[in-house]
Structure 1
Amino acid sequence: MKETTSIRSSIMVAFGGLALLSLVLGYVGLRVHLADEPQVSFLDLVYYDLQLFVIDSTPLGEGGPLPWPLEIARFTAPAVTVYALIETVRLLLSSEFRRLRARESSRHAIVCGTGALGQAVTQRLREEGRKVVVIGSAGGDLPRAPGVLHVTGDATDPLVLRAAGAGRARTVYACEDDATVNVAIAATVHGMDPAAPVAAYAHVPDPGLCAALRARRLGVVEPRDHRLDFFNLDELVVRVLLARDPVDQPRPVLLLGLETFGAALLVELARRWRLLAPPPGTRLPVRVIAPEAEPEVAAVCRTYPFVAENCALTCENGGVDDLRELLEAGKEPPQRVYVCYADEHLALTAALTVAPLWTGAPVVVRVSRRRMFGEVFRDGRLMEDLAGSLQIFAVTEEAGKPDLIDEDVIERIARAIHDRYVLACVQRGDTPGENASMVPYEELSEAKKGQNRDQAAHIGAKLAAVGCVPAPSTAAPHTFAFTGEEVERLARMEHTRWMRYLTDRGWAHGPERDDGGRRHPDLLDWEYLSEQARDKDREAVAQLPDILQDAGFRIVRLPASTGP
């Protein structure tokens, strides 16, 4: 494709040069040809010269021998005109053809937005071999690549979405810079009622708004087949960062700045440390230096109580200008340094301040896009004494992966359910050798993941049955608890859901569990279950507040209706 584009560009340049040559030769030839007619002015010559391009130059109608420059120009000028007409028709037809292809596409991905995130998602999709339709404004920087079609317009307009084939698409990614626009795009897709299920994902940079929208989505009692979710880049990308370079030693970790990225990183550090099942009382030392470190960390701990339970936190209030003094007073070099400032200038200043102090500790610098500082850190002599210690971590590029974005709020809760299960197994003394399910969520089979997802998707229905809804976690204390009557009612619902999930997949009752033969002794109505089997459902219900809390949500009771 690049070679074809290069050839076409070369041809256009060649015909551009031919047009200029035709003008020059035509003017020179006309001047010689009409030299005996003094009434012909300079402007007349220019006018006659331009007429050569439409095969209608007045002096040529008189016939007779012509100067050689004019003989050449009277053929090359029309040739340029013919080429221009052919190219115009080609562009019009190809544009219309692309619009038709976009409208008639099926099972493709639609990316709304041509900014950094939109381009990153488009590139990743193409690397996976998927067909992509990009919706952008008329002045946007539309990516040009094989398999990428374009539709110009406002993606919140149903007509524009239909022109992009939204009715037959597999996924829509709303990646505009404005969160309200992204939410509107996702809502429009969700309300179009396309023939096949369509997943819509909206980028919401504000973590508070993102959590509120996710809570509302989780509380839908009867979720439709069309998936709808909202994602925040910083929350997604910390999982990539710690999966790539895990922190598994009880040595200090240093966070410079907090903001959205640092807060999400702190939560993920605590979550992964808890799953490592360290010896009792062993917490991960984490030192946070930020302008408002103490209140910001306190807010994170109130929202996610397990952070304080698993991390030994040290908070110091200070800006970039205070870093050197604060760091030189540190007693122990950290095993890892994370520079979490959203402002790239502050991030670079902090990185250059901290890196010379501990050249043995990796310093991870958060930036929006790699090319901001990537070349300087990787190749420039400016950083040659710090080689290997500084790592650029580009949020937009690392988080703009479809497989990450596709993990919606149901997947997030499913992960929390599995994490709680593993913790309970560890507390009982189980080992991975005895229980094959005691593995990270990513390593579970799709069948086991499916069970967790189904349980997560049913949470909205359970809460609605007892007059409750999920809400984003706040700094308020988490005091919710189900009553005994509610636990019993919801345990019955949980057992019914579990039975339906297995029977829909070919399972039946059997005296002993047989995964290969799809038999289970508890596939019975509630009235015939043993108390031990019922306790499993009760425990699953009783754990709901803690599961939601681990995922950043809490349960809120709706006020009872008092009637008219």
Structure 2
Amino acid sequence: MDTPPRTGRTTAVWWAGAGLVDTVYIAAVGYLCLLALDPAQAERTPQALRWFGAPGSHATIAAVLALPLIHFIVRRLCRQELLTGTPLVAIAAMAASAVALGMSAYWRCHGEQAPFFAPLSWTLSLFLGNVENPFGPGGTGSCAGVPMPVALEIARLLAIATTLVAAMAATVALFRTQFDRVAIWRARLLTVVVDIDDETVSMVRAISRTRNPAAALVVLTEDIDGGAARAVRRWGARLRSVDFTDAGALSELSLWNRLDRLYLLSADPMQNVARFTAIDAAVHGSDTRRRRIPLTVRIDDPWQAEVWRRALASTERHWVADAVGRNEITAAKLVRHLTTRRGGDGPLPPTTVVLCGLSPLTYALVSEFAQLHRELGLYARPGVRGPESVVIFARGASSFIDDHRIRQDRIAPDGTALPVLAHDDDPTVDAITRYLRNTDAGDCAIVLGDPAMETLGTRLASRFPALRVYLASATSMALADISIVGQLFSFPINMELDPDAPQDVWERAAELVHEHYSSGTARTTPATRPWKELDPLVKQSNRRQLTNALWMVESLAGHSWNSLAEPAPALPLPEDFASLPPLRQLAILGFDRATAETMVRTEHEDWRRHYEAAGWRYAEHRDDAARRHDKLLPWEELVARHPDAVHHAYRSLASTLINLRNLGYRSVPRRPTTAWRRYRRLGEVTAEQRSSPWTWTASSGEVMHARAGDWAVVDDSGGERSVAAEVFGSTHEPIGSGRYRRTGTVLARRAVPGEVISTLEGDVVAAEHDWVVQGAEGEQWPVPDAQFRAGYIAIDGA
């Protein structure tokens, strides 16, 4: 589970404690230096404290050396890394303390030697393990007959520690690459970032902050000694050098079977796509059938990013994709700043936002405002108010808005989109002044998305003090709530994520769907608390439910989430849609009864696996504290014991898909050569489970690879094949003496001759007249026409 964050007040208290510890340490070292210079000062100390600094005092040594340890413990309690990168600060602090204490102890002992340089040389010798002892009966100068001050003993220990830490730091720096390889090899899960530059360093920091605590952060780069690489090491990243010019370098890495999240952050989107193709091929060879791996690809063009996100929402069995870019990230921060009211007496967000120019940021902003409009329609977040309209102020604005409306019509039903208006004119000071003449400037905000408009922004802010002006700046580091002229706010266009931003659009959608659901309840149960207060397991389950729906719609229902590629606009739902039974709602959304049945069964089993993996078990009565749940049963048994659970499952599925649609994620049927239909499995087979891997030859000639534990199945016509262990039990029932009856239903369609089908045993090229069969887990395999007709029968109404 994630470590719960500390509140700002608690963190401030711990930091104050760390400062107090540092102050005590400095005071203690200073006092020991004073005693070493003038032992008579001990007489002025209260009797109860005279033990501190006394010659040979073990308690003094222990107390002084314990203070740095307490400092590091307090930093850890503040959720800070103890030592990030080379521990130069720690080395410098120990060395300075050792020099101060050593010089103070030796200062009076030079005898006939040089007054300054003798104590200095003796102090420096401490770092080599050599101790000059001018104290005691055989001592020199003023130190003769004087006990060795405790300051010298502490200085000796600190000097040795400084030398050892410096040597260890040098060793770590020298063998850092090897240490990183070992750490990567040992990690159970990996969050992998492919390619970084100076601009994406800040994003790696955000990734480090939000990653799964059980996953190691791995950065693949060509330059592990560059400035960006050195920077990400501070966030705990492990670096691995990769030659990106070698087409096979990525796919040959032994990382992909432990992948938890994947980020492709090259500034060139085509490089990212090419690298994804290589990684996707490697992941296909690993056992990730039941996992949807979050994938984030950098695409700075906001419209291309949206197409990628929707086209790859859930490819095959592996990915739940998102896209990220400097313009979309900047747009999200700007929209959040524009639409959030700060404080109870702060100004209301503007009702009209004017976007000047047709820069890529304009494209990102208008899409972000449209998405916020949909989100507020689903859940009205407290303190957030979207604009009533957005105006594009630029030459060619009308043409741009035509494109925007076409895209939005394919995303959301007609009539629900945010109004976007065109002002077809160059955005000059005079033109904007004329536009604002008959409006209340306090209800407007102007966004200048080009740093070249700096003078324009200053002049507008001077003319209209109540007008909020947002100016893209090449020098600003962050968007701040301060201004010099009027309400002129400068902001950078970069990849810097907000600390509280969701990891991707799907987590953002999961949060909104949860808030929409829980806002109608008392929010007192573990499943209905506000998102930020949810138990990490429940939060992960909400995300799991949404990503599983993305996958099921594509893999089980044959739909696509890329409604942008669908020429027809979205049609409004019937007026009485909300009151219809869930099966009828699903039918209107494009899912027949057989498909819906498969989807609710698959969702339940995925939910059950999620909770059982977290240590939950079945019990007749639910007990969250003891991790017991009365619904943790196989689907068939759940239906028998809790008939009401079926209606709830259909209602939950319909609600998830409706909420996704309301957020702009509308699935559309694919247009294959033939559509998927539902079939029942027929016939009997002979089968045995084998304990070691083996190979067999498909009808198309490919050599297939079965794993240990898979079943070898032979039908009555003599055809042999393998069935995965996790699939066999749900698709066959024993009838005695190694014989099994084929059970269950599948989806099937005619194959496209020559298409490549990724089966559990390897890729197969479909032949003419073949059928593609898809099981309940989304697994696919080709079946020759004669074998298919003998082993499957269509279900009425499919």
Q: TM-score, normalised by structure 1?
A: 0.63
Note the 1:263-412 alignment, pairs <5 A.
263-275=366-378, 277=380, 284-291=387-394, 292=397, 294-295=401-402, 297-299=404-406, 301-305=408-412, 309=416, 311=418, 314-321=421-428, 323-335=431-443, 337=445, 339=447, 341=449, 343-346=450-453, 348-366=454-472, 372-373=475-476, 384-386=484-486, 389-399=487-497, 406-407=503-504, 410-412=506-508
Cα contact 2:262–2:296 (8 A) shared by 1: yes
The aligned counterpart of 2:667 is: 554
Change beyond 3 A, Cα 1:522–1:121:
closer
TM-fit CA distance, 1:252: 1.2
Change beyond 3 A, Cα 1:362–1:112:
same
Change beyond 3 A, Cα 1:503–1:245:
same
Change beyond 3 A, Cα 1:363–1:296:
farther
Whether 1:186 and 2:276 are equivalent positions in the alignment is: yes
Q: Specify the SS of the correspondent of 2:366.
A: helix
Note the 1:413-452 alignment, pairs <5 A.
413-415=509-511, 417-418=513-514, 421=517, 430-432=520-522, 441-452=531-542
Change beyond 3 A, Cα 1:548–1:284:
same
The aligned counterpart of 1:144 is: 230
Change beyond 3 A, Cα 1:303–1:541:
same
TM-fit CA distance, 1:466: 3.4
Inter-partner Cα distance in structure 2 for 1:378 and 1:228 = 33
Inter-partner Cα distance in structure 1 for 2:403 and 2:226 = 38
The aligned counterpart of 1:21 is: none
Q: Specify the SS of the correspondent of 2:203.
A: helix
TM-fit CA distance, 1:100: 3.2
With 282-291 and 257-266 compared, the bigger mean Cα shift is at: 282-291
Change beyond 3 A, Cα 1:192–1:350:
farther
Q: 1:519 aligns with which of 629, 635, 638?
A: 629
The aligned counterpart of 1:13 is: none
Note the 1:165-180 alignment, pairs <5 A.
172-180=262-270
Cα contact 1:365–1:391 (8 A) shared by 2: yes
Q: Deviations over 1:310-345 (max 9, x none)?
A: 75655433332264244423422245625262x332
Structure 2 residue identity aligned to 1:390: L
Inter-partner Cα distance in structure 1 for 2:387 and 2:424 = 20
Cα contact 1:135–1:150 (8 A) shared by 2: yes
Inter-partner Cα distance in structure 2 for 1:378 and 1:151 = 41
Change beyond 3 A, Cα 1:359–1:167:
farther
Q: Specify the SS of the correspondent of 2:282.
A: coil
Cα contact 2:301–2:327 (8 A) shared by 1: no
Inter-partner Cα distance in structure 2 for 1:233 and 1:221 = 28
TM-fit CA distance, 1:304: 4.5
The aligned counterpart of 1:154 is: 244
Q: 1:497 aligns with which of 598, 602, 619?
A: 602
The aligned counterpart of 1:40 is: none
Inter-partner Cα distance in structure 2 for 1:330 and 1:384 = 26
Structure 1 residue identity aligned to 2:324: F
The aligned counterpart of 1:477 is: 569
TM-fit CA distance, 1:530: 4.2
Change beyond 3 A, Cα 1:557–1:142:
closer
Cα contact 2:470–2:490 (8 A) shared by 1: yes
Structure 2 residue identity aligned to 1:356: S
The aligned counterpart of 2:323 is: 230
Change beyond 3 A, Cα 1:103–1:232:
same
Cα contact 2:349–2:387 (8 A) shared by 1: yes
User: How many residue pairs get matched?
Assistant: 456
Change beyond 3 A, Cα 1:377–1:464:
closer
Note the 1:445-460 alignment, pairs <5 A.
445-459=535-549, 460=551
TM-fit CA distance, 1:468: 2.2
Cα contact 1:102–1:165 (8 A) shared by 2: no
Inter-partner Cα distance in structure 2 for 1:123 and 1:434 = 34
Tell me, which stretches of 5 or more residues in structure 2 are unaligned? 1-85, 93-170, 342-347, 574-584, 676-749, 751-768, 770-798
Cα contact 1:247–1:269 (8 A) shared by 2: no
Q: Specify the SS of the correspondent of 2:275.
A: helix
Q: Specify the SS of the correspondent of 1:398.
A: coil
Change beyond 3 A, Cα 1:440–1:174:
same
Structure with more helix by fraction: 1
Percent same amino acid among aligned pairs?
A: 15
Tell me, which stretches of 5 or more residues in structure 1 are unaligned? 8-92
Cα contact 2:375–2:512 (8 A) shared by 1: no
Change beyond 3 A, Cα 1:468–1:168:
closer
Change beyond 3 A, Cα 1:312–1:491:
same
Cα contact 2:391–2:421 (8 A) shared by 1: yes
Highest relative contact order (Cα 8 Å, sep 6+), 1 or 2? 1
Change beyond 3 A, Cα 1:437–1:306:
farther
Inter-partner Cα distance in structure 1 for 2:461 and 2:623 = 57
TM-fit CA distance, 1:308: 5.9
The aligned counterpart of 1:254 is: 353
Q: Deviations over 1:102-134 (max 9, x none)?
A: 444415765444434333334556789986645
Q: Deviations over 1:169-228 (max 9, x none)?
A: 76553221210101222333343347999865321223343333333433434337xx76
Structure 1 residue identity aligned to 2:352: V
Structure 2 residue identity aligned to 1:253: T
Change beyond 3 A, Cα 1:312–1:450:
same
Whether 1:214 and 2:309 are equivalent positions in the alignment is: yes
Inter-partner Cα distance in structure 1 for 2:447 and 2:553 = 41
Q: Specify the SS of the correspondent of 1:273.
A: helix
| Root mean square deviation of aligned Cα | 4.9
TM-fit CA distance, 1:477: 1.1
Change beyond 3 A, Cα 1:326–1:163:
farther
TM-fit CA distance, 1:540: 2.5
Note the 1:234-245 alignment, pairs <5 A.
234-243=327-336
Change beyond 3 A, Cα 1:467–1:271:
closer
Structure 1 residue identity aligned to 2:488: L
Change beyond 3 A, Cα 1:390–1:495:
same
Q: 2:201 aligns with which of 105, 115, 119?
A: 119
